[in-house]
A and B are shown apart, each in its own frame.
Chain A
Amino acid sequence: MTLIDLSWWQLALAAGLVVALAGLAHVARLGMSGSLLVAGLRTAVQLSLIGVVLEALFSVATLGWVALMAAVMLAMAGREVVARQKRPLAGWWGAGIGTASMFVSSFAVTVLTLVVIVGPTPWYEPQYAIPMLGMMLGNTMTGVALGLDRLTDTVWRQRALIETRLMLGERWQEAVADARRDATRSGLIPIVNSMAAAGVVSLPGMMTGQILSGTPPGLAVKYQILIMFTITAGTGFGTLVAVSAASRRLFDGRERLRVDRLRPVKR
Protein backbone atom coordinates (compact mmCIF):
# COMPACT_ATOMS: atom_id res chain seq x y z
CA MET A 1 0.00 0.00 0.00
CA THR A 2 1.49 3.32 -1.07
CA LEU A 3 0.23 6.57 0.35
CA ILE A 4 -0.88 9.20 -2.08
CA ASP A 5 1.25 12.24 -1.38
CA LEU A 6 -0.26 15.68 -0.92
CA SER A 7 1.65 18.59 -2.38
CA TRP A 8 1.65 22.13 -1.04
CA TRP A 9 -0.38 23.59 -3.91
CA GLN A 10 -3.14 21.09 -3.14
CA LEU A 11 -3.22 22.34 0.45
CA ALA A 12 -3.25 25.91 -0.88
CA LEU A 13 -6.37 25.05 -2.83
CA ALA A 14 -8.11 23.90 0.36
CA ALA A 15 -6.87 27.05 2.12
CA GLY A 16 -8.38 29.06 -0.72
CA LEU A 17 -11.81 27.69 0.23
CA VAL A 18 -11.41 28.98 3.78
CA VAL A 19 -10.26 32.38 2.48
CA ALA A 20 -13.30 32.48 0.21
CA LEU A 21 -15.52 31.70 3.17
CA ALA A 22 -13.86 34.50 5.15
CA GLY A 23 -14.45 36.87 2.23
CA LEU A 24 -18.11 35.95 2.14
CA ALA A 25 -18.36 36.38 5.92
CA HIS A 26 -16.82 39.82 5.56
CA VAL A 27 -19.30 40.85 2.88
CA ALA A 28 -22.17 39.55 4.97
CA ARG A 29 -20.82 41.47 7.98
CA LEU A 30 -20.81 38.42 10.23
CA GLY A 31 -17.84 39.81 12.15
CA MET A 32 -16.22 36.39 11.88
CA SER A 33 -13.79 36.71 9.00
CA GLY A 34 -10.88 37.85 11.15
CA SER A 35 -11.11 35.05 13.67
CA LEU A 36 -11.73 32.55 10.87
CA LEU A 37 -8.50 33.50 9.16
CA VAL A 38 -6.53 33.58 12.39
CA ALA A 39 -7.85 30.16 13.38
CA GLY A 40 -7.01 28.80 9.95
CA LEU A 41 -3.51 30.18 10.17
CA ARG A 42 -3.11 28.70 13.64
CA THR A 43 -4.17 25.30 12.34
CA ALA A 44 -1.54 25.39 9.61
CA VAL A 45 1.27 26.67 11.84
CA GLN A 46 0.49 24.51 14.88
CA LEU A 47 0.07 21.31 12.89
CA SER A 48 3.24 21.94 10.88
CA LEU A 49 5.16 22.49 14.09
CA ILE A 50 3.74 19.38 15.72
CA GLY A 51 4.64 17.43 12.58
CA VAL A 52 8.27 18.45 13.00
CA VAL A 53 8.15 17.71 16.73
CA LEU A 54 6.60 14.28 16.20
CA GLU A 55 9.17 13.29 13.58
CA ALA A 56 11.93 14.24 15.98
CA LEU A 57 10.22 12.50 18.88
CA PHE A 58 9.65 9.28 16.91
CA SER A 59 13.32 9.16 16.00
CA VAL A 60 14.47 9.59 19.62
CA ALA A 61 11.70 7.64 21.37
CA THR A 62 13.04 7.76 24.93
CA LEU A 63 10.72 7.85 27.92
CA GLY A 64 12.04 11.25 29.03
CA TRP A 65 11.16 12.99 25.79
CA VAL A 66 7.77 11.30 25.57
CA ALA A 67 7.03 12.39 29.14
CA LEU A 68 8.11 15.95 28.37
CA MET A 69 5.84 16.03 25.34
CA ALA A 70 2.97 14.67 27.43
CA ALA A 71 3.58 17.31 30.10
CA VAL A 72 3.52 20.10 27.53
CA MET A 73 0.27 18.77 26.06
CA LEU A 74 -1.24 18.61 29.55
CA ALA A 75 -0.20 22.16 30.35
CA MET A 76 -1.74 23.46 27.14
CA ALA A 77 -4.96 21.58 27.88
CA GLY A 78 -5.03 23.05 31.41
CA ARG A 79 -4.68 26.54 29.98
CA GLU A 80 -7.45 25.88 27.50
CA VAL A 81 -9.82 24.63 30.22
CA VAL A 82 -9.52 27.97 32.03
CA ALA A 83 -9.83 29.97 28.82
CA ARG A 84 -13.11 28.24 27.97
CA GLN A 85 -14.78 29.21 31.25
CA LYS A 86 -16.67 32.42 31.74
CA ARG A 87 -15.92 32.58 35.47
CA PRO A 88 -13.14 30.17 36.37
CA LEU A 89 -11.96 29.76 39.93
CA ALA A 90 -9.54 32.55 40.77
CA GLY A 91 -5.83 32.06 41.27
CA TRP A 92 -4.20 28.72 40.61
CA TRP A 93 -7.34 26.79 41.48
CA GLY A 94 -8.97 27.16 38.07
CA ALA A 95 -6.03 25.79 36.13
CA GLY A 96 -5.01 23.49 38.98
CA ILE A 97 -8.28 21.59 39.33
CA GLY A 98 -8.67 21.25 35.56
CA THR A 99 -5.12 20.10 35.01
CA ALA A 100 -5.05 17.73 37.96
CA SER A 101 -8.29 16.03 36.97
CA MET A 102 -7.16 15.67 33.35
CA PHE A 103 -3.86 14.30 34.56
CA VAL A 104 -5.50 11.74 36.79
CA SER A 105 -8.00 10.53 34.22
CA SER A 106 -6.24 10.94 30.86
CA PHE A 107 -2.86 9.68 31.96
CA ALA A 108 -4.23 6.82 33.98
CA VAL A 109 -6.50 5.62 31.19
CA THR A 110 -3.86 6.09 28.48
CA VAL A 111 -1.17 4.26 30.41
CA LEU A 112 -3.60 1.49 31.29
CA THR A 113 -4.61 1.12 27.66
CA LEU A 114 -1.01 1.12 26.45
CA VAL A 115 0.29 -1.33 29.00
CA VAL A 116 -2.62 -3.74 29.35
CA ILE A 117 -4.53 -3.56 26.07
CA VAL A 118 -2.44 -2.43 23.11
CA GLY A 119 0.96 -3.41 24.50
CA PRO A 120 3.54 -1.88 22.16
CA THR A 121 7.22 -2.33 23.05
CA PRO A 122 8.33 -0.26 24.77
CA TRP A 123 4.94 0.66 26.27
CA TYR A 124 5.65 4.38 25.79
CA GLU A 125 6.35 3.93 22.05
CA PRO A 126 5.55 7.50 20.94
CA GLN A 127 3.80 6.44 17.76
CA TYR A 128 1.07 4.94 19.95
CA ALA A 129 1.39 6.93 23.16
CA ILE A 130 1.29 10.46 21.81
CA PRO A 131 -1.73 10.19 19.48
CA MET A 132 -3.68 8.26 22.11
CA LEU A 133 -2.87 10.76 24.82
CA GLY A 134 -3.75 13.54 22.40
CA MET A 135 -7.18 12.13 21.70
CA MET A 136 -7.72 11.42 25.35
CA LEU A 137 -6.67 14.89 26.46
CA GLY A 138 -8.63 16.61 23.71
CA ASN A 139 -11.86 14.94 24.71
CA THR A 140 -11.28 15.05 28.45
CA MET A 141 -10.48 18.73 28.10
CA THR A 142 -13.82 19.34 26.43
CA GLY A 143 -15.67 17.46 29.14
CA VAL A 144 -13.81 19.11 31.99
CA ALA A 145 -14.13 22.58 30.49
CA LEU A 146 -17.85 22.17 29.82
CA GLY A 147 -18.44 20.74 33.27
CA LEU A 148 -16.50 23.42 35.12
CA ASP A 149 -17.96 26.22 33.03
CA ARG A 150 -21.46 25.00 33.70
CA LEU A 151 -20.76 24.56 37.40
CA THR A 152 -19.21 27.95 38.04
CA ASP A 153 -21.75 29.76 35.89
CA THR A 154 -24.74 27.99 37.49
CA VAL A 155 -23.45 28.57 41.00
CA TRP A 156 -22.85 32.23 40.19
CA ARG A 157 -26.35 32.72 38.80
CA GLN A 158 -28.02 30.66 41.54
CA ARG A 159 -25.93 31.91 44.42
CA ALA A 160 -28.93 33.36 46.25
CA LEU A 161 -30.83 30.10 45.80
CA ILE A 162 -27.92 28.01 47.06
CA GLU A 163 -27.59 30.29 50.08
CA THR A 164 -31.31 29.89 50.75
CA ARG A 165 -30.75 26.15 51.00
CA LEU A 166 -27.80 26.69 53.32
CA MET A 167 -29.96 28.94 55.51
CA LEU A 168 -32.45 26.12 55.85
CA GLY A 169 -29.69 23.97 57.31
CA GLU A 170 -28.71 21.89 54.30
CA ARG A 171 -25.17 20.63 53.95
CA TRP A 172 -23.11 22.24 51.22
CA GLN A 173 -23.28 19.01 49.24
CA GLU A 174 -27.09 19.12 49.23
CA ALA A 175 -27.21 22.83 48.44
CA VAL A 176 -24.96 22.47 45.39
CA ALA A 177 -26.22 19.04 44.29
CA ASP A 178 -28.45 20.29 41.47
CA ALA A 179 -25.76 22.51 39.98
CA ARG A 180 -23.25 19.71 40.29
CA ARG A 181 -25.49 17.19 38.56
CA ASP A 182 -26.18 19.61 35.70
CA ALA A 183 -22.50 20.35 35.30
CA THR A 184 -21.44 16.71 35.24
CA ARG A 185 -24.16 15.92 32.76
CA SER A 186 -23.19 18.71 30.39
CA GLY A 187 -19.58 17.54 30.54
CA LEU A 188 -20.58 14.02 29.55
CA ILE A 189 -23.20 14.74 26.90
CA PRO A 190 -20.78 15.32 23.98
CA ILE A 191 -19.01 11.99 24.41
CA VAL A 192 -22.24 10.07 24.95
CA ASN A 193 -23.65 11.68 21.81
CA SER A 194 -20.58 10.91 19.76
CA MET A 195 -20.66 7.27 20.87
CA ALA A 196 -24.30 7.07 19.89
CA ALA A 197 -23.68 8.65 16.48
CA ALA A 198 -20.41 6.87 15.72
CA GLY A 199 -20.54 5.00 12.43
CA VAL A 200 -24.13 6.00 11.72
CA VAL A 201 -23.85 9.75 11.45
CA SER A 202 -20.14 10.35 11.76
CA LEU A 203 -17.08 8.37 10.80
CA PRO A 204 -14.69 9.04 13.67
CA GLY A 205 -11.47 10.82 12.75
CA MET A 206 -9.00 8.20 13.85
CA MET A 207 -10.73 5.39 12.03
CA THR A 208 -11.01 7.49 8.92
CA GLY A 209 -7.33 8.32 9.16
CA GLN A 210 -6.31 4.71 9.59
CA ILE A 211 -8.43 3.63 6.64
CA LEU A 212 -6.96 6.42 4.51
CA SER A 213 -3.48 5.21 5.41
CA GLY A 214 -4.28 1.66 4.39
CA THR A 215 -5.35 -0.14 7.57
CA PRO A 216 -8.04 -2.77 6.95
CA PRO A 217 -11.42 -1.37 8.06
CA GLY A 218 -11.91 -4.28 10.48
CA LEU A 219 -8.79 -3.39 12.45
CA ALA A 220 -9.49 0.34 12.21
CA VAL A 221 -12.93 -0.30 13.70
CA LYS A 222 -11.45 -2.23 16.59
CA TYR A 223 -9.04 0.58 17.37
CA GLN A 224 -11.84 3.10 17.13
CA ILE A 225 -14.04 1.17 19.56
CA LEU A 226 -11.12 0.90 21.96
CA ILE A 227 -10.47 4.61 21.71
CA MET A 228 -14.14 5.51 22.11
CA PHE A 229 -14.40 3.50 25.32
CA THR A 230 -11.19 4.79 26.79
CA ILE A 231 -12.08 8.36 25.85
CA THR A 232 -15.46 7.93 27.51
CA ALA A 233 -13.86 6.58 30.66
CA GLY A 234 -11.24 9.33 30.67
CA THR A 235 -13.74 12.10 30.03
CA GLY A 236 -16.20 10.74 32.56
CA PHE A 237 -13.75 10.30 35.40
CA GLY A 238 -12.03 13.60 34.59
CA THR A 239 -15.30 15.52 34.59
CA LEU A 240 -16.46 13.89 37.83
CA VAL A 241 -13.22 14.68 39.59
CA ALA A 242 -13.05 18.24 38.30
CA VAL A 243 -16.67 19.09 39.12
CA SER A 244 -16.43 17.57 42.60
CA ALA A 245 -13.19 19.35 43.43
CA ALA A 246 -14.47 22.68 42.12
CA SER A 247 -17.74 22.29 44.05
CA ARG A 248 -15.75 21.76 47.23
CA ARG A 249 -13.64 24.82 46.52
CA LEU A 250 -16.79 26.96 46.20
CA PHE A 251 -17.54 26.47 49.90
CA ASP A 252 -15.33 27.17 52.88
CA GLY A 253 -14.87 25.31 56.15
CA ARG A 254 -18.05 26.86 57.56
CA GLU A 255 -20.05 25.73 54.51
CA ARG A 256 -20.41 29.29 53.25
CA LEU A 257 -20.85 29.81 49.53
CA ARG A 258 -17.74 31.64 48.34
CA VAL A 259 -18.49 33.11 44.92
CA ASP A 260 -15.67 35.55 45.65
CA ARG A 261 -13.41 32.63 44.76
CA LEU A 262 -14.54 32.96 41.15
CA ARG A 263 -12.68 35.27 38.84
CA PRO A 264 -14.82 38.31 37.98
CA VAL A 265 -15.88 38.58 34.34
CA LYS A 266 -13.78 41.13 32.54
CA ARG A 267 -15.70 43.79 30.66
Chain B
Amino acid sequence: MADEAPPAGALRLESLSVGPLGPIDLRVEPGEIVALSGASGSGKSRLLRAIADLDAHGGVAALGDTAQDALPAHRWRRAVMLLPAESLWWADTVGEHFPDGRVPEPAALGLDAGVAGWEVARLSSGEKQRLALLRVLARRPRCLLLDEPSANLDEAATQRVETLVGDYVRDASVPALWVSHDPAQIARVASRHLRIGGSGLEVAG
Protein backbone atom coordinates (compact mmCIF):
# COMPACT_ATOMS: atom_id res chain seq x y z
CA MET B 1 0.00 0.00 0.00
CA ALA B 2 1.32 3.39 -0.95
CA ASP B 3 1.32 4.89 2.49
CA GLU B 4 3.09 8.06 3.36
CA ALA B 5 5.32 7.93 6.42
CA PRO B 6 3.26 6.79 9.40
CA PRO B 7 2.71 9.32 12.17
CA ALA B 8 5.20 9.20 15.03
CA GLY B 9 5.89 10.96 18.29
CA ALA B 10 4.23 11.34 21.67
CA LEU B 11 0.72 10.06 22.32
CA ARG B 12 -1.46 12.97 23.36
CA LEU B 13 -4.98 12.85 24.74
CA GLU B 14 -6.82 16.13 25.12
CA SER B 15 -10.19 16.18 26.88
CA LEU B 16 -10.79 12.64 25.69
CA SER B 17 -14.09 11.27 26.97
CA VAL B 18 -15.74 7.92 26.49
CA GLY B 19 -18.78 6.74 28.42
CA PRO B 20 -18.48 7.82 32.07
CA LEU B 21 -14.75 8.49 31.68
CA GLY B 22 -13.25 11.84 30.97
CA PRO B 23 -12.35 14.43 30.11
CA ILE B 24 -8.86 12.93 30.18
CA ASP B 25 -5.63 14.73 29.37
CA LEU B 26 -2.50 12.64 29.03
CA ARG B 27 0.82 12.75 27.28
CA VAL B 28 3.03 9.68 26.82
CA GLU B 29 6.49 10.41 25.44
CA PRO B 30 8.22 8.30 22.79
CA GLY B 31 10.07 5.47 24.50
CA GLU B 32 7.95 5.76 27.65
CA ILE B 33 5.68 3.11 29.14
CA VAL B 34 2.81 4.39 31.27
CA ALA B 35 0.96 1.83 33.37
CA LEU B 36 -2.78 2.05 33.73
CA SER B 37 -4.76 0.30 36.44
CA GLY B 38 -8.23 0.44 37.86
CA ALA B 39 -11.01 -1.74 39.20
CA SER B 40 -12.61 -4.03 36.66
CA GLY B 41 -15.39 -2.18 34.91
CA SER B 42 -13.70 1.15 35.49
CA GLY B 43 -13.26 1.65 31.77
CA LYS B 44 -9.61 0.82 31.07
CA SER B 45 -10.44 -1.22 28.00
CA ARG B 46 -12.91 1.36 26.77
CA LEU B 47 -10.28 4.04 27.08
CA LEU B 48 -7.85 2.01 24.99
CA ARG B 49 -10.58 1.29 22.44
CA ALA B 50 -11.34 5.00 22.18
CA ILE B 51 -7.66 5.81 21.63
CA ALA B 52 -7.60 3.18 18.86
CA ASP B 53 -10.77 4.81 17.50
CA LEU B 54 -12.83 1.63 17.80
CA ASP B 55 -15.52 3.33 19.88
CA ALA B 56 -17.12 6.73 19.42
CA HIS B 57 -15.66 9.25 21.84
CA GLY B 58 -15.21 12.95 22.52
CA GLY B 59 -12.03 15.00 22.61
CA VAL B 60 -8.78 14.63 20.73
CA ALA B 61 -6.18 11.89 20.41
CA ALA B 62 -3.01 12.54 18.47
CA LEU B 63 0.31 10.91 17.76
CA GLY B 64 3.00 13.53 17.37
CA ASP B 65 1.51 16.17 15.12
CA THR B 66 -1.05 13.87 13.56
CA ALA B 67 -4.58 13.94 14.96
CA GLN B 68 -6.64 10.79 14.94
CA ASP B 69 -9.23 12.09 12.51
CA ALA B 70 -6.60 13.44 10.12
CA LEU B 71 -5.99 9.85 8.99
CA PRO B 72 -8.28 7.15 7.61
CA ALA B 73 -9.17 4.98 10.60
CA HIS B 74 -7.24 1.91 9.41
CA ARG B 75 -4.05 3.94 9.06
CA TRP B 76 -4.48 5.39 12.53
CA ARG B 77 -4.91 1.88 13.94
CA ARG B 78 -1.89 0.62 12.04
CA ALA B 79 0.11 3.29 13.86
CA VAL B 80 -1.66 3.17 17.23
CA MET B 81 -2.17 -0.52 17.77
CA LEU B 82 -4.31 -2.10 20.46
CA LEU B 83 -3.53 -5.53 21.84
CA PRO B 84 -6.80 -6.70 23.44
CA ALA B 85 -6.94 -8.96 26.48
CA GLU B 86 -8.42 -11.80 24.48
CA SER B 87 -6.65 -12.83 21.29
CA LEU B 88 -8.72 -14.09 18.37
CA TRP B 89 -7.57 -15.77 15.18
CA TRP B 90 -9.33 -15.97 11.85
CA ALA B 91 -7.14 -18.22 9.68
CA ASP B 92 -6.06 -21.83 10.17
CA THR B 93 -2.34 -21.41 10.68
CA VAL B 94 -0.37 -18.95 12.79
CA GLY B 95 1.66 -17.61 9.89
CA GLU B 96 -1.38 -16.38 7.98
CA HIS B 97 -1.92 -13.75 10.67
CA PHE B 98 1.50 -12.23 10.13
CA PRO B 99 2.73 -9.89 7.40
CA ASP B 100 4.42 -12.05 4.74
CA GLY B 101 3.61 -15.16 6.82
CA ARG B 102 6.73 -14.75 8.94
CA VAL B 103 6.74 -14.72 12.74
CA PRO B 104 9.59 -12.44 13.88
CA GLU B 105 11.70 -13.44 16.88
CA PRO B 106 9.62 -16.36 18.20
CA ALA B 107 12.52 -17.35 20.42
CA ALA B 108 12.30 -14.04 22.28
CA LEU B 109 9.05 -15.30 23.80
CA GLY B 110 10.16 -18.90 24.16
CA LEU B 111 8.32 -20.10 21.07
CA ASP B 112 9.45 -22.67 18.56
CA ALA B 113 11.12 -21.40 15.36
CA GLY B 114 8.54 -23.28 13.24
CA VAL B 115 5.58 -21.70 14.97
CA ALA B 116 4.40 -19.98 11.77
CA GLY B 117 3.27 -23.34 10.41
CA TRP B 118 1.34 -24.36 13.51
CA GLU B 119 -2.40 -24.73 13.53
CA VAL B 120 -4.18 -22.10 15.57
CA ALA B 121 -6.60 -24.71 16.92
CA ARG B 122 -3.75 -26.48 18.69
CA LEU B 123 -2.28 -23.46 20.45
CA SER B 124 -2.49 -23.21 24.21
CA SER B 125 -3.95 -20.03 25.66
CA GLY B 126 -0.47 -18.93 26.74
CA GLU B 127 0.93 -19.48 23.26
CA LYS B 128 -1.96 -17.54 21.78
CA GLN B 129 -1.33 -14.64 24.10
CA ARG B 130 2.36 -14.47 23.28
CA LEU B 131 1.71 -14.82 19.54
CA ALA B 132 -0.87 -12.06 19.71
CA LEU B 133 1.85 -9.74 21.01
CA LEU B 134 4.22 -10.82 18.23
CA ARG B 135 1.40 -10.30 15.73
CA VAL B 136 1.17 -6.69 16.88
CA LEU B 137 4.94 -6.04 16.98
CA ALA B 138 5.39 -7.61 13.53
CA ARG B 139 3.35 -4.73 12.12
CA ARG B 140 5.79 -2.20 13.59
CA PRO B 141 3.20 0.09 15.25
CA ARG B 142 4.18 3.61 16.29
CA CYS B 143 2.31 3.45 19.60
CA LEU B 144 1.30 0.47 21.74
CA LEU B 145 -1.92 0.05 23.72
CA LEU B 146 -1.55 -3.15 25.73
CA ASP B 147 -4.50 -4.59 27.63
CA GLU B 148 -3.04 -7.01 30.19
CA PRO B 149 -0.57 -8.59 27.77
CA SER B 150 0.73 -11.11 30.32
CA ALA B 151 -2.45 -11.88 32.27
CA ASN B 152 -2.39 -15.66 31.81
CA LEU B 153 1.34 -16.28 31.53
CA ASP B 154 3.71 -17.94 33.96
CA GLU B 155 6.57 -16.04 35.53
CA ALA B 156 9.17 -16.86 32.90
CA ALA B 157 6.92 -15.98 29.99
CA THR B 158 5.78 -12.79 31.71
CA GLN B 159 9.38 -11.72 32.09
CA ARG B 160 10.04 -12.37 28.41
CA VAL B 161 6.99 -10.31 27.43
CA GLU B 162 8.18 -7.44 29.61
CA THR B 163 11.64 -7.54 28.09
CA LEU B 164 10.39 -7.77 24.52
CA VAL B 165 7.95 -4.88 24.90
CA GLY B 166 10.50 -2.80 26.79
CA ASP B 167 13.07 -3.33 24.04
CA TYR B 168 10.61 -2.49 21.29
CA VAL B 169 9.40 0.68 23.02
CA ARG B 170 12.99 1.84 23.56
CA ASP B 171 14.46 0.82 20.20
CA ALA B 172 11.57 2.06 18.07
CA SER B 173 11.07 5.02 20.40
CA VAL B 174 7.31 4.66 20.64
CA PRO B 175 4.93 5.55 23.48
CA ALA B 176 3.04 2.75 25.23
CA LEU B 177 0.06 2.43 27.56
CA TRP B 178 0.13 -0.80 29.55
CA VAL B 179 -2.91 -1.98 31.51
CA SER B 180 -1.86 -4.17 34.41
CA HIS B 181 -3.13 -5.25 37.81
CA ASP B 182 0.19 -6.39 39.16
CA PRO B 183 2.00 -3.70 41.23
CA ALA B 184 5.31 -5.55 40.88
CA GLN B 185 4.99 -5.64 37.12
CA ILE B 186 4.04 -1.98 37.00
CA ALA B 187 7.12 -1.15 39.04
CA ARG B 188 9.28 -3.17 36.63
CA VAL B 189 8.04 -1.86 33.30
CA ALA B 190 6.51 1.57 33.74
CA SER B 191 7.97 4.99 34.39
CA ARG B 192 4.61 6.31 35.56
CA HIS B 193 1.52 4.67 37.01
CA LEU B 194 -1.96 6.11 36.55
CA ARG B 195 -5.09 4.75 38.13
CA ILE B 196 -8.63 5.28 36.92
CA GLY B 197 -10.54 6.86 39.77
CA GLY B 198 -14.10 7.97 39.15
CA SER B 199 -14.16 9.69 35.80
CA GLY B 200 -10.48 10.57 35.46
CA LEU B 201 -6.89 9.42 35.83
CA GLU B 202 -4.96 9.96 39.02
CA VAL B 203 -1.28 9.43 39.69
CA ALA B 204 -0.71 6.28 41.71
CA GLY B 205 2.26 4.73 43.50
A residues neighboring B (CB under 8 Å)? 160-161, 163-172, 178, 254-257
Question: How far does the alpha carbon of A163 sit from the alpha carbon of B83 in the complex, in Å?
Answer: 11
B81 CB contact (under 8 Å) in A167, A171, A178, A257: A167
- Given known pairs A161-B88, A161-B90, A164-B88, the reply for A169 and B81 (CB within 8 Å) is yes
Q: How many A-B residue pairs have CB under 8 A?
A: 54
Q: Assuming A166-B74, A167-B81, A168-B139, is B53 touching A160 (CB within 8 A)?
A: no
Interchain CB contact under 8 A, B55 and A256: yes
- Interface 1/0 per residue, B165-189 and A, CB below 8 Å: 0000000000000000000000000
Q: B residues touching A (Cβ–Cβ < 8 Å)?
A: 52-56, 69, 72-75, 77-79, 81-84, 86-90, 135-136, 139, 141
A255 touching B73 in the complex, CB below 8 Å, given contacts A160-B86, A168-B135, A168-B139? yes
A164 touches B74 (CB 8 A): no
Tell me the minimal C-beta distance from A254 to chain B in angstroms: 4
* Known contacts A171-B74, A255-B73; is-contact A166 B54 (Cβ 8 Å): yes
Q: Which residues of A contact B90 (CB under 8 A)?
A: 161, 164-165, 178
Bound Cα distance from A256 to B81, whole angstroms: 14
* CB–CB B139/A169 < 8 A: yes
- On whether the beta carbons of B54 and A167 are closer than 8 Å, the reply is yes
The answer to whether B77 and A167 have CB atoms under 8 Å apart is: yes
* In contact, B54 and A256 (Cβ under 8 angstroms): yes
- Complex CA–CA separation, A86 to B52 (angstroms): 31
Specify the chain A residue showing the minimal Cβ separation from B138.
A168
**What would 5 more interface pairs be, CB under 8 Å, given A164-B88, A167-B52, A169-B81?**
A166-B77, A168-B139, A169-B139, A254-B53, A256-B54
Q: Cβ of B84: which chain A residues have Cβ within 8 Å of it?
A: 163-164, 167
Q: Which residues of A contact B56 (CB under 8 A)?
A: 254, 256
CB distance from A166 to the nearest CB of B (A): 6
Q: Once bound together, how far apart are the Cα atoms of A168 and B141, in whole Å? A: 9
Interface CB pairs A-B, < 8 A, 27? A160-B86, A160-B88, A161-B89, A161-B90, A163-B84, A165-B90, A166-B73, A166-B74, A167-B52, A167-B54, A167-B82, A168-B77, A168-B81, A168-B135, A168-B139, A169-B74, A169-B75, A169-B77, A169-B78, A169-B81, A169-B139, A169-B141, A254-B69, A254-B73, A255-B73, A256-B53, A257-B54
